[in-house]
Amino acid sequence: MFKRIAVTGTLAGLNMGFWLFLIGALAARIIYGPQFAPEDKFEPDQISAWYFFWTKLVIGVFFGLLFTGLYEAVPLSRRVAGISGGLKYALLLWLIVSLWGLSHKVMYETLQAQKQVFWLVYSLGGYIGYGLAFGYLCRRWGNGARAKDTGSPLSRG
């Protein structure tokens, strides 16, 4: 079972990382302008596309494994059977995490609209990437990381 979770989580997480990088770059350009970051956050020589790309892949794999493990641990009455189910699962996770994060900022009056809009859009892009890949893998290989004998890597071990 761990091998199945690892394969699904890693593949979906890599897709999540790619979408984090892509949506993060677009959102940063739109929200922060040509410097791609809030003023005084980075020195000019610290902004490297390669650094941001590989770190997003690592972040994506970590959360892909975490979310896939969570999916397997929760006794759901309906399992993800395709891309739309994967998107619903990912958007539910995004909504829970985002509302939790917003609640603290609103409660302690530390909400900064520009930064919050960036993080909401950035994280939504990553969750959508995860949901697309996770749903696709569920449809292709069976019922997610709990796939039966379909001949896929998820059905072994």
The tokens describing 117, both together, are: 């809009």
The tokens describing 116, both together, are: 């919050």
Q: What is the CA radius of gyration of the chain?
A: 17
Judged against a pLDDT cut of 50, whether residue 157 lies above it is answered with no
Full residue range of the structural domain in which residue 96 is found: 2-38+47-155
Say how far residue 45 (Cα) sits from the centre of its chain.
28
Report the C-alpha gap between 8 and 33 in whole angstroms: 36
Q: Per the structure, how many domains does the chain have?
A: 1
Q: What are phi and psi of 80, to 5 degrees?
A: -65, 130
Report the C-alpha gap between 31 and 120 in whole angstroms: 12
Write the pLDDT tens digit of every residue in 24-83. 889 888 887 766 676 766 676 667 778 889 999 999 999 999 999 999 998 887 889 899
Q: How many CA atoms lie within 13 Å of 68's alpha carbon, on the beta-carbon side?
A: 33
Q: Is the pTM of this model over 0.85?
A: no
122, 123, 127, 132: CA torsion to nearest 10: 0
The tokens describing 49, both together, are: 């596309």
